[in-house]
Amino acid sequence: MEFTAQAIAEFLKGEIAGDPAVTVNTIAKIEEGKKGALSFLANPKYEPYIYETDSSVVLVNRDFRAAKPVKATLVRVDDAYEAFASLLTLVEQSRPRKKGIHPSAIVGEGTSIGGDAYIGAYVYIGENCKIGNNCRIYPQSYIGDGTVIGDDCLIYQGVKIYHECIIGNSCTIHAGSVIGSDGFGFAPQSESEFMKIPQIGNVILEDHVEIGANATIDRATMGSTIIRRGVKLDNLIQVGHNVEIGENTVMAAQTGIAGSTRVGSNCMFGGQVGIAGHLRIADNTRLGAQAGVAGSIKEENRVYTGTPAVDHRIFLRSSVIIRKLPELKKQVDALEKEVKDIRKDKA
């Protein structure tokens, strides 16, 4: 598709600086810009590229002031990053949508499929399922018996959703993810044997949840593992049985949450965060990458870093001390030698 700078500015309620008739038909990073491309500048450290880019149109914040001439037409908006995301959404929605059920798909008895749905090749949908309107389920996905999927959901290739799980409206599950696999429940019987505890619960994803590629969300032992409205999980995340994640919480890749932990709303976790089981994490908690949480976090709006996780300010002060440890050891060794020499002299 092709858009003029004028059309983009009108859609974003922005202001044009340059040629309003210039057109774009592709999108590029500002440092890789080319003629006909749309780019954006939100991070100040990328400002040097705006003077060199060959992109035809660049979105900038309204308060941006160029230090030297810019070749591209600028569209000034309140938030360049947010505006760029809005345009990407528009482009995505304008693409042709697949519809219909592929002949190789298998749909079990008692299953209903809503209007305008797409069921790709070799998809298996079990018995007594309910698939909402305008859903897209891509090839080789598996939907277990009794599963309910709401309207406007996007299930990418190779997703496995076990039986009796519930997926809300406007959810996205990326390729290779597994929803509803057994929780890690085993009862020790002797020093070397364990008895498997049946996992008879399910998983509930509320509306507007997005699950990254190759993530796993375990079904509850009893009751439900619950991912609340608006949660965004990155790739390769493990969520244990009976976990509950509060609304609008986001987690970066390789985070792991052990069973029966309750995570609050509006939390943000960096990559490779690890949280032990049966904990409570307060609303608006921020965890830095590789933070290891062994105890509950009860105060809201706190930032923690490190393993074991501590207040971020304490972590920064400790980091300074750690860097000085080699020097401190030399000083301690020197003091020990002085003490030994003094003792020898007194002896």
Nearest Cα neighbor of 228 from 175, 271, 283 is 283
Separation CA 90–CA 24 (nearest Å): 14
Separation CA 277–CA 185 (nearest Å): 12
CATH code, 100-313:
2.160.10.10
Which pTM does this prediction carry? 0.85
Which residue among the candidates 102, 174, 208, 241 is catalytic per the annotation?
A: 241
244 neighbors 265 (Cβ within 8 angstroms):
no
Pairing of strands 238-239, 216-218: parallel
Which pLDDT score is estimated for 235?
A: 98
Q: Where are the domains of the chain?
A: 3-94, 100-313, 322-346
Which pLDDT score is estimated for 347?
A: 67
Residues 165-199 have pLDDT tens digits of: 999 999 999 999 999 999 999 988 877 889 999 99
Residues 294-314 have pLDDT tens digits of: 999 999 999 999 999 988 888
Q: Can you spell out the DSSP letters for 260-306? A: T-EE-TT-EE-TT-EE-SS-EE-TT-EE-TT-EE-S-B-SSS-EEET
Which pLDDT score is estimated for 315?
A: 85
3-94 fold = 3.40.1390
Dihedral sign (CA 268, 274, 275, 277): positive
pLDDT tens, residue order, the chain (347 aa): 789 999 999 999 999 999 999 999 999 999 999 999 999 999 999 999 999 999 999 999 999 999 999 999 999 999 999 999 998 888 787 778 888 999 999 999 999 999 999 999 999 999 999 999 999 999 999 999 999 999 999 999 999 999 999 999 999 999 999 999 999 999 888 778 899 999 999 999 999 999 999 999 999 999 999 999 999 999 999 999 999 999 999 999 999 999 999 999 999 999 999 999 999 999 999 999 999 999 999 999 999 999 999 888 888 888 888 888 888 888 988 898 888 888 887 76
Catalytic, 241? Answer yes
Separation CA 15–CA 70 (nearest Å): 16
SS3 31: helix
